[in-house]
Every structure is written in structure tokens, then in C-alpha cells.
């Protein structure tokens, strides 16, 4: 693991998620660029002192050289460093599990796509919402034609925690998100909108063609958007709308996707992730439940406990680590991976996300539709 | 009443709504342009034979001349005739309750605005969703500053009943809605989107400044949109998104409004209209209920029965008839009407709705933002 | 109408409900025992002065003697007088629509059963929740065997408005409900529990066999229960539980019924009455909606407006008046009534309700099961 | 761990739960009574061969003698063996985490209470629903007086998976649950009702005084109840009702608790565990959310990830392992444990649960109220 010293939020999530299915063990880390802190963190996390690094390049070199070196590196540092770190491990022949976004520019994103592809390395991007069983159920239903050709996609991700100048109160999570130097070219759209974009593409299998966006910074003094609305056009004719917001009171992490096809509709909400509403045209809508009979194998494979016992965010996150374990094992064993594990978001997905962001920012600036297609 | 012969849907709704509060009596009507049918309908509706007309102009003249002539005319014919009928009664000095849209062109709409204003006649447009108690509660809360300055408005009105070519099956309700000659320049946006636009302006008190829309006709052979998405900019800086759809399976009449201000958010759904979700920033969200203590007078005045006993669509519709009764009574008595009754949608509101439609259609055609402001 | 002077709650509800479908006209009344008040109320309600009575017996005689006399009398006085008034009109040959409970003793209830039966008069008891379309849908589904033999019935009706001594504040609605002289032998169980008992029997078609109840008076000084829990045994082996409460904070009128059979379950909540949850064993649960396609004729016949436009309490109440109109018309025309109208609660249903109350009160006093069957 | 060989459901849950917070490591086990199977399971679970036992008594002895012996034993075998196994480890001085029920007779349960108490060993009973953050929030609110003195408790736990003779299909989970020899004296009440009883006592802090129950076996041929309803009386005067069912179609694991006090009500549902509804008398009900600001320390301490990112069943289960880790560490370090960890269910709680079961079974048999108090 690179980053994720004690106290960092997302590092702890990655560790719990990796632990859940007992497929990974944390054996090395560059938890801090300060050598003392790195060693202290390693000790607290039960990592041997000789595998506690202060420099990710040193870690990549040393671990690659060890016979018992790491199988994969988890990159959980701030956004701006993702590209360099992931690249270092890929170059050293180490598989990578990388926090989103994979890069802050399209060029860097495409560079990682090529590096992973050319080196034959696994690159899993933790767009974690794709790990929810009912999200995979939805994707499988769309792919199987259960809702017919998709016509309309409504996706949204509102929050409220940045409705005031929280960045002035010493809150570090807030501070970096509103700073273009650390967060990149977009605020709410980068932090939340890319999850929404990814989820829409993941479930529908559609690819974005063009976007018309309107980014706003409502809280005085903000350089980046804290609210964004966008119209979406997908290849093949489907139409959509996307909304991300950090300033909508009463919303915590209200990621929600609705997909309507010729024959049926699907609705899913992250805050109640164990249910999927399925509305076949002309019939009473049904509530499909995680773990229940009759679900598709894609959902069943991502399910740990029986119906009615809710799984949540950590389990969904753990699913990507379980997928990554299978993908890495398959590479090491020279076999094809379980196709179910191949659903984990890839470097290509990440690059499309970066392209979406760039196009949306440009669209909002110009007040016009902008092409957003990318085939990395 | 003009239109609304037995069998017509909305005419029956108007009659039930008018009856509920015992403020109106149906005493005359032009229920059909066929004299025999008109008489038969009148008989069935307990209207005296001498006040059953086959021609609305004859009705306007005759009723205006009677000492016991009608106080107001309800216009419930197909859209294209609204302007001519409403104009005839206004010219005869009769107050008007008119189905939406008031006209199919902006010129006609503004003509009615002027006619009502110059003649000093009441003109109530039955944007019926504004009659729900919790919609009035929301409007009053926004006006009182309880959510702070509005930043974000999300409004949507999806249905699914036109997801196939229902117009080919002899369904008259479907047939006129997909026919530009009868429905005007927009399909889902005209039928549903105008309600959504009106509701957003009613609750927020904001006025639309510009719109960027994307209209789609998904069902093969349709000339008008059956799905529309739009970005909205309001005067003063608030941003919004609007979605109307007739092709989203699993949705019946899922009109829903969400408004987010600096201090709090409000969420209301037409299918569960007795509740209003109020989310103050930093506090647990609350479910405000129609009839409960602590609501604003605007909500209490639109409430007939105690909390926990749901009121619905007809009661909300009846509220506009109750408002109209007070407005007409005030004119007849030469006094100021109860301010609470003055919330009923006016000709000016209707004209802004027609302007919104025109701007959205143009925006979609040009793929660009279009100004939509109107101060009639 | 007897009772229901301006200001009384339930009288106004009856009038709105009777008006909605235009099948009834209010032409006579004994709105008060004070002659001046009776006349004033009549005037306000557009009733002719010569048909404003101060005495219900005088009204029964006079109206029975008029060629244009009333078709039916609505009894909306306090509980203790229901029997005498209903009996007077039945004796005069006038049909009766009566507020629940029909009587405060089983003897009086059975007396009305016989009077209505022997005189061939219609007696409709306004257990109004039976008028909801989705309640009728549930009943029809059970009767058609869609859920198989019923095993378990859970019914509850909690409120919170009497959680404090509201009766000390001058609130008349509270005062009579906690007074045994006016309310009869039970408090929450009489006011709410009888609705729950009636709804359970109405939907399941089952008849109560025995009850084991525990009545509590939580608010200090109360003579009657303000909370009651009971175990129910139905003929044929089904088991149930019933809960009524006036002291459960956060509940308005949360009447809710759940019925589970061998093959499926049904769940309905009065506060969201347009939906019915249907859970077939081994399949995803479905949300059936009022007005949607595929419902049974019993539901369709009780529906006024399309799906997605909510109907509420008044419409359900109006359904009983519509049923009563058909039942009365059939008697007057010497024909069989529409079977759909015959679903309206009868005197027999009322008598069973009174028996349930008596048995529950005795059970609680003795701390034992008590037989509750009645076949009037 | 004793029991929980690969394939057993609850053993896997215990392992995931124990792993989540990195406070426990699985180092020894008696995963099967068959020596070969025990070794194979150990190998699969990364347990050293010399610590794979086929006999729990041998394991207790050997581990107690090792300097690096286990800190605690997790007992996840079928119910009938819980007492003997737990007793063996307590006698060897090893702390115990035990699946519910702790025993099948009250005598055995009280024996474990004494053994743990006299030996000064930690005994944590995995009534796992008590580990949910919002359950702990509810308990803390009641304890702090936020809802006033408790008056009414409604608790229920319906399922539907045993609505047919699943036990005839080879389903082992079904087979043991309907067999008195393996499941003890009660079916649904033992499997589900004890969770409901425990949850009610945990949240309210009240102690059961008497019960009046009605147990039914609806599926032909069942010896044990598959549905049970009960009236509850708590010390101090609160009244309650409890319902457990395995035959109610449309229910998965619908454990739900509602508690009403003098000042407010609380409602919690296991299938949406991140929310707690709080209804203060006379105010709009609020939805408290896990992870949000303003919650009590008891809830915050049981929370791993921020608001809006749902935690579920495994996290709640893990909480008991986290509590157990703290309790064991405190014993080993000779200090008082964190009071927050002392919320984990104890042997005393388990004994009260066994007493509740016995009393309910007797009550149903006799058709009368039965005392149920126990102060172990």
C-alpha cells in the first residue's frame, strides 16, 4: 500500500475491504514520505520494519526484487500522485489497485492504460459502487436484454457537507477537494460526478458521446464547482442527465441511478443498496433483493450473506479486491480469469472518466455541447 | 362548463373538484358542439335544458345576459380551443377557470393575459399540483427564508404509458398528445414539463432566465418529444434541471420537486403528497405531514381533514376551485380577496409556461442555451 | 343528516363524501337539538327551513310522510345516541347510513340488525377504510385464492394525539373519547381497534373466534384504555395480533394491515393507501397501484382517477356513500343491487365489532382467552 | 473456533466479522469431529496443522497449555453442543464468544452464567443485532431519557423461507430448525423470537415480567411453531407485543423494533439498519442516520465509515468481536474495559432469553399468562 497512514480515511477502507474475504495480506507499505512516520505506521499495521518504505519508487524496486515480494500495490494517496505511483509499480511488473481518479489529465490516464496493457499487468480502479451486488444485477439484466434497448439514463450524486466554507475550518478532506492544484479541474463533478458517470456506463454498457454541462460554484470564494448538472448523449441514441452536488442539504451520499429501456426500468440507490427496483412496462414494479432466489450469477457471485441481512459499502469495496485477487491469480497462473471478476473497473474505464470530466468542464465554459467519446 | 361531456376525463375531475367544497354549482354548459349530445349531457349532469348550449359563444352571450347567469366558466376542451373560448367568456365579462395550457402560442397567451387584466376578470389556470397543501407549505417556507437563498432546483415528471405506440390502438388520450396539430409544439414537455416548470416557479418564487434542452422522440414515428431533459438557469443565479418523460417504465405520475437552499432542502413527491421532507443543514431530516401542528397558514388553509388521513389529487384540484370561488366573490363584492386564495395560478403564470416551452423547443433544435425570461 | 352541525368534524366529512359522486343531495337535517341552532345550520348548509328539525323523531316522521322525503338518513351524532336515532329512521322506513359504532351494547347492536333486516332497509355502517380501492383489491385477491389459505393476520392502528392529558385542555374530541359514559367500555380499542378488527375481517373474509387482550391506561387518571394489544384466533385456524394505541409518539393514523397466506402476503397502510404490497412466496414482492392495469373489478369500481394521481380518505369515504346510493336505488327499484356495492359494511359487521370489543375488555380483565364469535 | 468447517454458514460470518477490525487472528480450530476433515479445513483456513483439533476438549486443554494459546474460543456448532463446549473452554480459563442460544435448557444456561462469573472469564453471546450503530443509538437515547418512560414495545421478526416443507428437500438449515432434538423446545420463537426479545430488552433496558403467547405450526407435520405471537408485560408497567414467523411470504429478515415512551417514539428496521426514526411528541419525525453529526458516543463508537455509506450485517457482527477484543484485553491487562464495549450481550442476557422461551412455550400450552422474570 502506498499512502493510507493511520488517520487517512480511504486507506483504512481499502484495508478493511482487502481483509474481508481473506484473499489479501498487507505485507509492505509506503505509508508516509517521512521515514519515522512510515515505520510507526507499519508497526501499527503489523507490517515488518524492513518492508516499511518512505519512498514509493524504492518500494517498487525492492518488492519487485524480493522472492516474496508483493503481488499488487494499492495506491491510496492524494489524486495528483496517482499516475506517478501507479506507473512506478507497473514498470516494476507489479499489479495495481488504484483509487480513482487514476490521473488528473487525459494524457496521464492514457499513459497508464498503455503501461498496464503493454506490461500485461492488472489495473483495477476502485470505482467501488460497481461492486454492489444489485449494481451487478442491474448490469447483467441490461446486458441480457431484460429492459430492452436503453432510452433514458438519470444519474445523480448529491451531498451536502460542503454547503458552507468547511475548508476554512481546518477540515483537510474539504480543503483538498476545493483546491484545483490537488483536486484537478473539477470539484463536485470530479469527486462525485465521475462515480455517477462510471456507474451509468457500467450498468448500461453504453458509451458517452457528448455532454452539455453547467458547473456552478455556489459557496463564495470557491474556484471549483460545488454543483454540476449535465445533459448526456450516449452512442446509439440514449439520452441522460447527470447531477452532482456538494451543497444540497439533506443529502449524504445519495448516489442514485435510474435506467429506462423499451421494456422496463431499473432504479438503484446507494443508500439502500440491497434493493433494486424493476419496473416492467405494464406490470407492477418489483423489488429485487440481494441474496434472493432468481438473481443473475453476477449478483450471486458478489453476495456473501443471505437475503435480508444487509451488505453495505465495505462489502462492495471488498468485491473489487476479490475481483483483483482473481485477476492477479489468473495472471500468475497463466490462465483466463473468471469472467465475473473481469467486471472490475479498468484503466480504460478510468480514462473515459477523465475524458468525461474534461469535456464537461469545457462544455460549461463554452455553454455548448462538447464531444466526449473516447476509445482507449 | 365548456367541454367535459360524459366520458371526457378531465371534465369529470373538474366537476368533482368544484363540488367538494360546496362553493360552486353546475348550472349551464356547452358540453358538446352537437346539440343533441349537448342536451343529453346536460340532462345527465342535472343542468336545465334551457342552459344546455351547443356553441360556447352563444353560451357566453346568453349567460352574460341572464340575471342568474353563471359566475364563471370552466374551460375543459382540447388545448387548441382554450384561447378562443376563454377569450369569449372574458369578453362577455365572465370569470374563467381554464385547463392548462391556456394557449398554444405565446401571442394567444399574452392576449388572454391582457384580456383578463383589462377586463378585471378572474382567470385561474388549473395547474392543479399547486393546490396540494404541502406544496403550499413548501412555497411558504421558501418565501419565509426557511431554506435560505435557493441554489439548486431538480424537478421531474416521468410517466410510462406512451412507451409504445398506444396512439395506434384507438386510445384518444394518446392520439391527441402525439399530434402537433392538437397538442402544440411539444409532447412530453408540453403535457408534463409545463407542470414541472410551473411547480418549480410556484414553490421557489424564482423566474426562469434561460434553458438548454434536449428533446427526444424515442418511439418510432413520433413527431413530438416523448422525453425531454433540460438545464435551467433562474434569475438570481439558481440552477436547475428538468426531466419529463412518457417512456420511462415503472413511473405513473412521478412528479417530484427538490429544492436546495443555503440552509436547508425540501423534497416533495406527487404520489405521496401528504408528506414534505425538510432537510436542514447539519440536522436530521424531518418529515412534515399535512394537517400536523406547526405548519404555515398557507398549508393549513388548503387542508380539509386531520393529519394521517391522506388527501389526494381531487382535494388539490378542489383547492383551485375554492381559491377561484374566493377570488370571484371578492370581485363581486368589491373587496380584496383573501391573500391565501391569490396563490392560484394566473394567466401570467400560464404565459410564462408557454414561453418556457417555446424556448426549450428552440434550444433543443439549435443545441444551445436560449433565453426564456418573460414578464407579462 | 342527524348531527353534524357546523364545526363538528365527522359531519363535514360525511357531507363532502356524499357530494363527491353527485349521487346524494342534502335536503333535510336535525343538525342540533337547539331549534335556533338547527335552523342556522340548515341555512348555512342550503337546507330549506321547513326541513330543519330540532328533534330526530320529528324528522323521521315528517320526512317519511313527505312525498319528496329523504331517501336515507346519515347518523353522525355522538356514539351513545346512534342506536336510538338509527332505530327511529328504520322504524319510519328510511334507509340509514350510520357512523361507527352502531351501538354501545351488543343488545342494541343486535336490535338494529333485526330492525334493518325485518324492515328490509339498507343499513350502511361507515367503516370508511373499507372504501379504499386497494383494500377492496386485497379482499378480492384473498377471496380469489391468490394468497392461499390465510395463516397470519397482523393489524394495528396507532396514534399519538392522546399521549398527554389533552382532555384537560378543553379539547372536546379528546374529552368524549376518554369518558366511559360517552365512549362506551373501551378507549383506544373502541375508537381504533374496531376499525382494525373490521378491516381484518373485511379483507380476509375470516371471522374472529377468540381474543386474548391486554388493555392499558398509560396516561394518569384515564378510566379507559389508551393502548391495547390482543392476540386473535380466527375460525379455521388463522392467528393474528391487533394493536391500537393513542399514546405512541410519531404515529398519526397509522392503520396498517398485513395478511399472510400459504402462497403470498399482502400489506396495506392507510397513510399511503394507493399502494398494496403483494409478496408471492419465492418471487420478488410487487407494488400494486390503484388505477393500474390488471387489478380486480372490485378495485377498479372504487377508483375515480387514473393511476399515479393519489386518491385519499375522502374518496374512500365517498365510496361508502356511492355503495349506499346503489343499495338504496336497488331497493327502490325492486332489483338486486350491484354486487360490488354490497361490500359496504352492514349492521351485521357492526354487531360483530361490538362483540369483539366486549370480549376483549372481558379478556383483559380476566387475563385469559375469551370466545368472541358472533353470527348475527 | 469450534465448528464452522468450510460450508457452514455462520462460521464464515464469524470469521469475516472477526477479521474486519484486525483485532483477532484465527490460529486454532476444531472445525470437525473427523480428524481428516478437521485438518483439511484448518489448511484451507491458514491454521497450522498442529493446532487443528478433532476434539474440542483436547483443543481446550492443549491451547490452555501453550504459551501462545488462544485468547478466546468462538463456538459456532449446532445449538445442542453450545453448553458443553463453552463450559470446557471456560473451565480451561479461555474466554468465549458463543453463538446464540447459549444453551437449550435454563439449567445449562445458568450453569454457564456461573462458570463465566466464577472463573472471571469473558462470555460474549452473539446476539448480533445489538452491534448495529443505530441500535446502540436507540439504547443510548432511551437510557438518557430522550423518549421518557417507556410505555409500549412492538417487536417482530418475520421470515418466509419455511412457508413450505423445505425440510423435506434436503435443506440442512431447514431440517435442524424444525427438529426439537436439535433446535430445542421452540421453532420460530427460538430462532427469531429470542433475537426480538433480546433486542427489546437491549434497547429499552426493561426486563420482561410475564408473557402470554400463542404458538402455531402452520405447515403440516411440523412439531415446532413456525409462527408465534405474544403479549409482553415488562417490569415497571410497559406493555409489548412480539411476533416471530417463518411462514409470512414477502418477508426476508424483517426484524423491526418500535419503542414508544412518554415523550417520543423510536423505530428501527434491520433491513435498513443505517436509519433510526425518532418521533418526538408534537414535532415532525426525524430520520437519524448512522455516521451523522449529533449522535451519541455509543453509536459513533460502533461506526466505521461516514454517513451515507451503508454499513450492514457483517459490520454489526464485527462490532461484537471488537467489543470482545476490548473485554478480553482489559482482563488480560488487569484494567476496566471501555464501558462502550460492555454493551455486548452477556451470559446473563442469554439466560434471560432461555427463560423467555420456556415461559412462552408454557403460556401457549396453557393458554394463560406466565411469569417470565429472571435475575441470574
**CATH code of the domain covering residue A216:** 3.30.360.10
Chains in touch with C (3+ beta-carbon pairs under 8 Å) read A, B, D
Which one of B69, B102, B121 terminates a domain?
A: B121
Q: Is residue D100 within 8 Å of residue D125, measured between CB atoms?
A: yes
The CATH number for B93's domain is 3.40.50.720
Domain count for chain C, please give it: 2
- Asked if B214 lies within 8 A of A216 by C-beta distance, the reply is no
Query: Does D161 contact C at CB distance below 8 Å?
Result: no
Q: How far is B206 from chain A (nearest CA, A)?
A: 16
Q: How confident is the model at residue A332 (pLDDT cuts 50, 70, 90)?
A: very high
Choose the mutation target among C141, C267, C285 for the interface with A, i.e. most A CBs under 10 Å.
C285
pLDDT at A192: 97
Contacts of A289 in chain C (CB under 8 A): 284
Give the 3-state secondary structure of chain C: CECCCCCCHHHHHHHHHHHHCCCCCCCCEECCCCHHHHHHHHHHCCCCHHHECCCHHHHHHHHHHCCCCCCEEEECCCHHHHHHHHHHHHHCCCEEEECCCCCCCHHHHHHHHHHHHHHCCCEEECCHHHHCHHHHHHHHHHHCCCCCCEEEEEEEEECCCCCCCHHHHCCHHHHHHCCHHHHCCCCHHHHHHHHHHHHHHHHHCCCEEEEEEEEECCCCCCCCCCEEEEEEEECCCCEEEEEEECCCCCCCCCCEEEEEECCEEEEEECCCCCEEEEEECCCCCEEEECCCCCCCHHHHCCCCCCCCCCCCHHHHHHHHHHHHHHHHHHHHHCCCCCHHHHHCCCHHHHHHHHHHHHHHHHHHHHCECEECCCCC
- Asked if B292 lies within 8 A of C252 by C-beta distance, the reply is yes
Chains in touch with D (3+ beta-carbon pairs under 8 Å) read A, B, C
Query: Does D14 contact A at CB distance below 8 Å?
Result: no
**Residues ≥6 apart with Cβ < 8 Å to D319:** D131, D132, D133, D302
pLDDT at D79: 87
Query: Does C160 contact B at CB distance below 8 Å?
Result: no
Residue C288 lies in a domain: yes
Q: Which of D247, D280, D367 lies at the smallest CB-CB distance from C260?
A: D247
Share of chain C above pLDDT 90, in %: 94
Contacts of D146 in chain B (CB under 8 A): none
Rounded Cα distance, B217 and D339, in Å = 63
Residues C108 and C85 in one domain: yes
Q: Is residue C9 scored above 90 in pLDDT?
A: no
pLDDT at D173: 86
Query: Does C292 contact A at CB distance below 8 Å?
Result: yes
Residue A338 lies in a domain: no
Q: Is residue A61 scored above 90 in pLDDT?
A: yes
Q: Which of D212, D240, D279 lies at the smallest CB-CB distance from C249?
A: D279
Share of chain D above pLDDT 90, in %: 94
Q: What is the mean pLDDT of residues D269-276?
A: 98
Residues C152 and C267 in one domain: yes
Share of chain B above pLDDT 90, in %: 94
pLDDT at C184: 86
Query: Does B281 contact D at CB distance below 8 Å?
Result: no
Q: How far is A279 from chain B (nearest CA, A)?
A: 4
Of residues B172 and B83, more confidence is placed in: B83
Choose the mutation target among D154, D248, D257 for the interface with C, i.e. most C CBs under 10 Å.
D248
* Nearest residue on chain C to A291, alpha-carbon basis: C284
Q: How many contacts (CB atoms, under 8 Å) link A and D?
A: 96
Q: Is residue A8 scored above 80 in pLDDT?
A: no
Least confident of B211-225, C229-243, D129-143, D173-187: D173-187
Residues C360 and C251 in one domain: yes
Q: How many contacts (CB atoms, under 8 Å) link B and D?
A: 28
Residue B249 lies in a domain: yes
Q: How confident is the model at residue D276 (pLDDT cuts 50, 70, 90)?
A: very high
Which one of C91, C121, C151 terminates a domain?
A: C121
Q: Which of C21, C305, C314 lies at the smallest CB-CB distance from B13?
A: C305
Residue A244 lies in a domain: yes
Residues C252 and C169 in one domain: yes
Q: Which of B306, B309, B310 lies at the smallest CB-CB distance from C310?
A: B310
Query: Does C293 contact A at CB distance below 8 Å?
Result: yes
Type and span of the H or E element at D42: helix D35-44
Q: What is the mean pLDDT of residues D146-154?
A: 98
Residues A183 and A229 in one domain: yes
Residue C339 lies in a domain: no
Query: Does D214 contact C at CB distance below 8 Å?
Result: yes
Query: Does A289 contact D at CB distance below 8 Å?
Result: yes
A27-45 tens-digit pLDDT: 999 999 999 999 999 999 9
D3-30 tens-digit pLDDT: 998 667 899 999 999 999 999 999 999 9
Q: Which of C253, C307, C308 lies at the smallest CB-CB distance from B308?
A: C253
Q: Is residue B8 scored above 80 in pLDDT?
A: no
Q: What is the mean pLDDT of residues D191-198?
A: 97
Q: How confident is the model at residue A182 (pLDDT cuts 50, 70, 90)?
A: confident
Query: Does B147 contact A at CB distance below 8 Å?
Result: yes
pLDDT at A86: 98
Residues D79 and D154 in one domain: no
Residues C117 and C137 in one domain: no
* Nearest residue on chain C to A295, alpha-carbon basis: C284
Residues A231 and A271 in one domain: yes
Residues A108 and A150 in one domain: no
Q: Is residue B65 scored above 90 in pLDDT?
A: yes
- Asked if C310 lies within 8 A of B22 by C-beta distance, the reply is no
Q: What is the mean pLDDT of residues C257-277?
A: 98
B346-358 tens-digit pLDDT: 999 999 999 999 9
Residue C281 lies in a domain: yes
Q: How confident is the model at residue C303 (pLDDT cuts 50, 70, 90)?
A: very high
Burial class (CB in 10 A: 0-12, 13-18, 19+), C169: exposed
* Nearest residue on chain A to C290, alpha-carbon basis: A284
Q: Which of D284, D286, D287 lies at the smallest CB-CB distance from B292?
A: D284
Rounded Cα distance, D133 and D301, in Å = 8
- Asked if A310 lies within 8 A of D308 by C-beta distance, the reply is no
Q: What is the mean pLDDT of residues C235-245?
A: 98
Query: Over chain A, what is the mean pLDDT?
Result: 96
Contacts of C287 in chain A (CB under 8 A): 284-287
Q: How far is A138 from chain B (nearest CA, A)?
A: 15
Type and span of the H or E element at A40: helix A35-44
pLDDT at C8: 75
- Asked if D284 lies within 8 A of B287 by C-beta distance, the reply is yes
Residues A256 and A286 in one domain: yes
Q: What is the mean pLDDT of residues A47-70?
A: 97
Type and span of the H or E element at D64: helix D56-65
Rounded to the nearest 10 degrees, how much is the dihedral formed by the CA atoms of C352, C353, C356, C358?
Answer: -100
Contacts of B263 in chain A (CB under 8 A): 249
Q: Is residue D162 scored above 80 in pLDDT?
A: yes
Q: How far is A262 from chain C (nearest CA, A)?
A: 18
Contacts of D292 in chain A (CB under 8 A): 252
C-alpha dihedral sign at C288, C294, C298, C303: positive
* Nearest residue on chain B to C129, alpha-carbon basis: B309
Q: How far is D257 from chain B (nearest CA, A)?
A: 20
Q: What is the ipTM of this complex?
A: 0.95
Query: Does A272 contact D at CB distance below 8 Å?
Result: yes
Contacts of D312 in chain A (CB under 8 A): 274, 309-312, 315
pLDDT at D254: 98
Q: Is residue C7 scored above 80 in pLDDT?
A: no
Q: What is the mean pLDDT of residues B124-151?
A: 98
Residues C114 and C148 in one domain: no
Reported pTM = 0.97
Which one of B95, B121, B147 terminates a domain?
A: B121
Q: How many contacts (CB atoms, under 8 Å) link B and C?
A: 96
Q: How far is D270 from chain B (nearest CA, A)?
A: 20
Residue A1 lies in a domain: no
Contacts of A226 in chain B (CB under 8 A): none
Query: Does C278 contact D at CB distance below 8 Å?
Result: yes
Query: Does C295 contact A at CB distance below 8 Å?
Result: no
In which domain, by residue range, is C109 found?
A: 9-121
Secondary structure letter of residue B227 according to DSSP: E
* Nearest residue on chain B to D294, alpha-carbon basis: B283
- Asked if C280 lies within 8 A of D152 by C-beta distance, the reply is no
Q: How confident is the model at residue C286 (pLDDT cuts 50, 70, 90)?
A: very high
Q: How far is D312 from chain C (nearest CA, A)?
A: 21
Q: What is the mean pLDDT of residues C208-216?
A: 98
Query: Does D165 contact C at CB distance below 8 Å?
Result: no
Residue B357 lies in a domain: yes
**Residues ≥6 apart with Cβ < 8 Å to D20:** A16, A19, A20, A314, D314, D315, D318, D321
Q: What is the mean pLDDT of residues C339-348?
A: 96
D320-366 tens-digit pLDDT: 999 999 999 999 999 999 999 999 999 999 999 999 999 999 999 99
Q: How far is D71 from chain A (nearest CA, A)?
A: 18
Residues D353 and D204 in one domain: yes
Amino acid at each position: 500500500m502506498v499512502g493510507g497512514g493511520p488517520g487517512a480515511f480511504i486507506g483504512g477502507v481499502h484495508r478493511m475491504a482487502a481483509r474481508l474475504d481473506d484473499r489479501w495480506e498487507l505485507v509492505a507499505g509506503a505509508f508516509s514520505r517521512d521515514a519515522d512516520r512510515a515505520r510507526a505506521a507499519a508497526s501499527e499495521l503489523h507490517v515488518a520494519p524492513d518492508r516499511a518504505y518512505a519512498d514509493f519508487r524504492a518500494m517498487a524496486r525492492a518488492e519487485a526484487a524480493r522472492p516474496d515480494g508483493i503481488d499488487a500495490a494499492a495506491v491510496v494517496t492524494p489524486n495528483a500522485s496517482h499516475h506517478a505511483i501507479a506507473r512506478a509499480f507497473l514498470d516494476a511488473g507489479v499489479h495495481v489497485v488504484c483509487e480513482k481518479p487514476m490521473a488528473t489529465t487525459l494524457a496521464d490516464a492514457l499513459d497508464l492504460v498503455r503501461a498496464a496493457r503493454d506490461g500485461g499487468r492488472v489495473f483495477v480502479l476502485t470505482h467501488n459502487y460497481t461492486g454492489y451486488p444489485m449494481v451487478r444485477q442491474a448490469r447483467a439484466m441490461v446486458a441480457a436484454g431484460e429492459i430492452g434497448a436503453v432510452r433514458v439514463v438519470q444519474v445523480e450524486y448529491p451531498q451536502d457537507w460542503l454547503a458552507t466554507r468547511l475548508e476554512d475550518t481546518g477540515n483537510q478532506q474539504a480543503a483538498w477537494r476545493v483546491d484545483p492544484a490537488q483536486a484537478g479541474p473539477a470539484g463536485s463533478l470530479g469527486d462525485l460526478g465521475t462515480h455517477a458517470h462510471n456507474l451509468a456506463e457500467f450498468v448500461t454498457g453504453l458509451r458517452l458521446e457528448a455532454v452539455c454541462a453547467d458547473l456552478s460554484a455556489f459557496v463564495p470564494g470557491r474556484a471549483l464547482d460545488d454543483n454540476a448538472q449535465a445533459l448526456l448523449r450516449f452512442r446509439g441514441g440514449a439520452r441522460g442527465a447527470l447531477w452532482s452536488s456538494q451543497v444540497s442539504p439533506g443529502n449524504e451520499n445519495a448516489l442514485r441511478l435510474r435506467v429506462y429501456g423499451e421494456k422496463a426500468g431499473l432504479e438503484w440507490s446507494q443508500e439502500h443498496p440491497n434493493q433494486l427496483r424493476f419496473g416492467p412496462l405494464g406490470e407492477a414494479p418489483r423489488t429485487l433483493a440481494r441474496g434472493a432466489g432468481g438473481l443473475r450469477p453476477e449478483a450471486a457471485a458478489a453476495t456473501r450473506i443471505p437475503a435480508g441481512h444487509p451488505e453495505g459499502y465495505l462489502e462492495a469495496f471488498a468485491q473489487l479486491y476479490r475481483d483483483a485477487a482473481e485477476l492477479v491469480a489468473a495472471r500468475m497462473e497463466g490462465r483466463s480469469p473468471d469472467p465475473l471478476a473481469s467486471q472490475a473497473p479498468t484503466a480504460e474505464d478510468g480514462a473515459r472518466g477523465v475524458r468525461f470530466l474534461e469535456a464537461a468542464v469545457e462544455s460549461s465554459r463554452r455553454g455548448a455541447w462538447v464531444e466526449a467519446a473516447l476509445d482507449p
